[in-house]
Chain A
C-alpha cells in the first residue's frame, strides 16, 4: 500500500498541511503536493476506472503524460472534468472526484466489460453495430452514448475569468530543466529578448531527482544560481506554470499559463493564453519514459520507474514497501537506489537485457539487491492492487520461473524525447536504433518566413538522456554515473502468448492492448495513421504520450518492417489539453462579438422591441404592445402602414459612394443593368452578380451628380460589396479613375411608407415632396423639418414611400420628429418582419431567401434588369453557359395553398421518379412564405422547374412527417398588381 514517508520530500512543506476531499471523503496533504502525490500519500492507489473495460487504474506517471488518473475538480460553476491529478497542484479545500464508474470507484458494474474483453477487440464498433440497420438509432447509439466519455460535462456557466496576452521575443525557451535554463542564460547574456517557460511550478526538470553534479554543484544549487542570474536580466522573462502548447507557422507560439488554478477565487484570471511571436524556439522539453508491455501492466501499483522516484524524492511518497523494478536500461536502477534510500525494499530487479553492467547496476548489486538478467515479467498478480509478479525468461513465451511478492512495480522501457513542438510545424525526426528513440534531425528543422530554422531541440528533447551529455551540449561540465546501452523490448516476454497480450496495455486511457495492434495489422491496417484510428491508439486526451512508440514498434514488428519504415503519427498541438476558457479569453457574453447599433437603437429598445440579428446589426423585428403576440403586432404594423403611415429604421442599408471620371463605366461592369446612363437625380434598381454569374446583391443606385453614384446594398452586405468593388478596382481595372467610400454608418436612414407618407413629410416641411417635384424613382437633397436630408422616392413595400437619409448624429432626433409629427396621422414604427411580408406581397425578391448562390437573375424574372446593350458585365459570360440557359431551370413563381394556409418554409415539391441515391426527384422549393394580413391568407414564393409556364397548375409540397400540401402556381405579385399605389 502506498503511504507518506516520515522524512524527506524536497517539494513539500510539512508545516503547511492542506485539507481536501476525494469522492467526498476528507484527506490531507501538504503545500507543494500535487493532487496525485497527496492521494498516493494518503494511501489511495485505486483512483479511476478505464474507459472501455472499466479496469481499476492508478497512477502510472508523475507529470503531464499521466493517462489514468483524470478527475473531476470543484463543483457547480467551478466544476471541471478530466483533470490530470499529476498536474493539479494541491490547495486547501480542493474537491476531487473519480470518473467513469457506477455505482462506486471500488465496485463498478461496468467492469463486466473486462470479462467480455474478447467481444471488444480493435474496431469492434465498426464490426458490431452494423446490422440490423434500424438498431443503430434505437438501440446501439443510445447505449454507446450513455457509455461514452469519461468525465461529466459541467452544467453551469464558468464562474472564472480568462485572458489572453501577446508578446514578442528573439528566443523562446520551452522547458525549465538544465538544458532550458542553460539556453536561456546563454541567450540572455547575448542580449537577446528571452522568454523562458516552465510547465510546472518548479525549475530544474529531472536533474534534482536524478542526481549528479553540474559545474561542481548539486543540481538543485546550480538551478538556484542560474535562476538568480536570469532573474537579474531585464531582457529575460521567466514564467512558471506556463506550458508551450504549440509551435505554429512563422514562429507563432501558443503558451498556456495556469495563473490561478492553485489559488482559486483570488481574483486573478484563472488561465492566460499567450500568443507569442518568437524568432527561435529552443525546445528543451525533456523526455518521457516508456512503459513495458507485459500482462497486468495497468494494475494499480505498476508505475513508471521515473515516476516512482519522483514520488519518493519530491513528495516523500512511497508507492509500496516492496518495489520490483523491471527494465531494459540502466536509468531504472536509480529508482531502486531511491527506494533503498527511503528505507524500503527492492526484492529484485528484473532486467530484460542478457547482461546488465553499468555503474548504477553495480551500485544496486552492492546493496544486496538481486539482479535477474535476461528475465521479464510474465504477469502481474492482483486486481485492484499489485500482489506480486511472475518472472519468466524474456526470450520465452511466459512460463513462470518464480513468483515474487511485492506491492509495487517500477517499469522502464527507455525514454522518448518530447519532440512535439519540433514536429508541430514540420521538423523531421530520425530513428536512432542504438538509442531506441526518434530524435530530431537538426538538418531538417521547421522553417520560418525566410526559410530560417524556427526551432532547435536541446537536452533530452534532442535525445541526450544523461546529465553529462546535456551539460556538454550547453558548454557546461557535469558528472554522472556512466550507463550501459539500452536493449529494445516491445513485448514482454518476447514470445508472449495471446492470453498475456490480451492484458498487455499500450494505451491506458483508451484501453488499447498489444493484441489490438496486432489484430489491426492482420486485418490489413499497414499505415500507422490508419492503425491509430482503427484501434484508437494514441487518440485519448493524453494523445499517446506513453503509447505511441510502443504501439508503432509492435505494428512494425507484426508487419515485419523497420520502425522508421512505419514512421510516427503526426504530433499536433496543443501538447496537453488547454481550457476552452483560455481559448475564449474575454470574448464571452456581451463582448463575444461587437454589436452594431443604429442611431435609433436605444429608442427601439425603450419600446420593448423584439430584435432580429442581421449580421452584426440588431434590427427591430417587430414592436409588440403589452399582451400582443409577435404575429399580431406584425399584422398590425402591416395594416397600419398600408392604410396610414409606417416608419422603418433603414439605417443598416449599405451606402457606398462611387465617384470619379470612370465611375459610370465601373458601375456598368459591377451591375447587370446600365448605370452610366442614369440621369442625375434618378434612382435605378440594380443587380450585382459575381463573375460566375450568380446573383450576390441588389439595391437601388442613385446618380448623385455627374461623377458620383450612391449604391445601396443589402443590410449586412455593405462591407462585402465594398470589398468586392475594391477587389476589381485594385486588381483588374487599376488604371480606371474611380474612388469608393463606404458611408453606411455616416447616415441614418428612415423609410416613411404608406398613403399618408407625403402628408407626414409636408408637416415637417422644408422641401416640396409632391409627385411633380419628386416623382417615383427620383432623388432630391434639401432640408426636412430643419434636418439636412437626402430624400429618395423608392419603395420596397409597394406603397407611396420616401427613404430619407440624414447625418447619423441627427438620426434619433429626425426619427423622433417623424413620430411626433405623424401622431395625428396614426404613424407607427414597423420592423423587419412587416418589411418582409410587404415585399413578398409585392413579389420583390430578398437576397438570401430567393437566392442561395446558385440563382441567376434570369431565374427570378429579373431579365428586365439585365442590359442587352452592354458588351460586358461581371457574370455576363457565365450566364451564357449551357446550364444557365437550360429551359428546365427552376424559376420564380408565386404559390398559394388551396386551403389558404401558410406553406412551411423551405419545403420541396417532389417530382416523378427517384435519383441515383434512391431519393425522390424534386421540381421546386419554397423560398419565402408568410401570412398576408391584407389578403388574409398564406402567400409564398418559390423556385419551380419551368414555373412561369405552368401558371395555374397545382403541385404537391411535402411538409412535416410527409404531409402533402397542395399549392397552386400563381403570379408572384399578390398585392396591387398594377403598381398603382407606389407611383402616386
Chain B
C-alpha cells in the first residue's frame, strides 16, 4: 500500500485515504477538435514502465486533487504537487533526471 504526501495539508497518508485519478496533465479536447486529438485525449495513455505523472485525490482527507511523479516499476515517489498546473514543476523534473539519468523527460 503506497504512501503519498498531500501537498495541500502536508500529511503523509496511506493509499486507502486517497482516490486514484489516472494520468496527469491531459490536455482536454472539446467541440471542434479532430477525431485523432479527441481520441488521444479520451483514450490514449502513456502507461510507462518507469516515471509516471498521475492524479490522486485526498478523498478521505482535505478533498483536494494533487499530482504525483512515481515510478510504476519500483513505486518510488519523486514528489507530489498541486493539480493547478499544466506541467510538472521544473525542480521536480530536474530531481527525477538526476535520479534516473536515462529518463527521457516529461514530453
Contacts and interface: CB of A to CB of B under 8 A. Distances in A.
B1 A727 contact: no
A631 interface: no
Among A448, A449, A881, find the residue whose CB has the most chain B CB atoms closer than 10 A: A449
B38 interface: yes
Nearest to A450: B76
Contacts of A43: none
B94 interface: no
A880 B65 CA distance: 30
A550 to B, nearest CB: 31
A426 interface: yes
A692 B2 contact: no
A872 B32 CA distance: 9
A476 interface: no
Contacts of A881: 35, 38
B31 interface: yes
Interface size class of B (residues with CB under 8 A): 20 to 34
Contacts, number: 69
A732 B28 contact: yes
Contact of B76 (A449, A692, A723, A877): A449
Contact of B99 (A448, A451, A692): A451
9 contacts: A249-B1, A249-B15, A250-B75, A252-B1, A448-B76, A451-B74, A726-B65, A730-B84, A878-B38
A878 B42 contact: yes
A691 interface: yes
B38 A877 contact: yes
Interface string B48-73: 00000001010100011100000000
B47 interface: no
A731 interface: yes
Contacts of A448: 75-76
A876 B63 contact: no
B3 A250 contact: yes
Interface string B9-32: 000001100010100000011111
B59 A248 contact: no
Nearest to B1: A252
B52 to A, nearest CB: 14
B6 interface: no
Contacts of A726: 57, 63, 65
A21 interface: no
A129 interface: no
B42 A727 contact: no
B76 to A, nearest CB: 4
Given A726-B65, A877-B29, A881-B35, A734 B83 contact: yes
A457 to B, nearest CB: 19
Contacts of B29: 877
Interface in A871-918: 871-872, 876-878, 880-881
Contacts of B84: 730-731, 734
B33 interface: yes
A727 B38 contact: no
A57 interface: no
Interface residue tally of chain A, by bracket?
A: 20 to 34
Contacts of B99: 451
Interface string A440-464: 0000000111110000000000000
Contact of A730 (B14, B19, B76, B83): B83
B36 to A, nearest CB: 12
Nearest to A870: B31
Interface in A715-772: 723, 726-727, 730-732, 734
A712 interface: no
A252 B1 CA distance: 6
Contact of A877 (B1, B33, B74): B33
A277 interface: yes
Given A730-B83, A734-B83, A248 B30 contact: no
**Of A249, A250, A447, A878, which is in contact with the most chain B CB atoms at under 10 Å from its CB?**
A250
Given A723-B57, A727-B21, 7 more contacts: A248-B1, A250-B1, A250-B2, A449-B76, A450-B77, A878-B38, A881-B35
Given A734-B84, A877-B38, A451 B31 contact: no
Contacts of B77: 449-450
B21 to A, nearest CB: 7
Contacts of B57: 723, 726-727
A230 B46 CA distance: 51
The 4 closest A-B pairs by CB, nearest first: A734-B84, A252-B1, A451-B76, A730-B65
A599 B62 CA distance: 27
A165 to B, nearest CB: 15
Contact of B64 (A252, A730, A732, A878): A730
B74 A447 contact: yes
Given A252-B1, A449-B2, A734-B83, A880 B31 contact: yes
Nearest to B32: A877
Nearest to B29: A877
Nearest to B75: A249
Contacts of A692: 42
B32 to A, nearest CB: 8
A876 B28 CA distance: 12
B30 A872 contact: yes
Contacts of A248: 1
Contact of B2 (A249, A691, A731): A249
Given A250-B1, A277-B3, A426 B42 contact: no
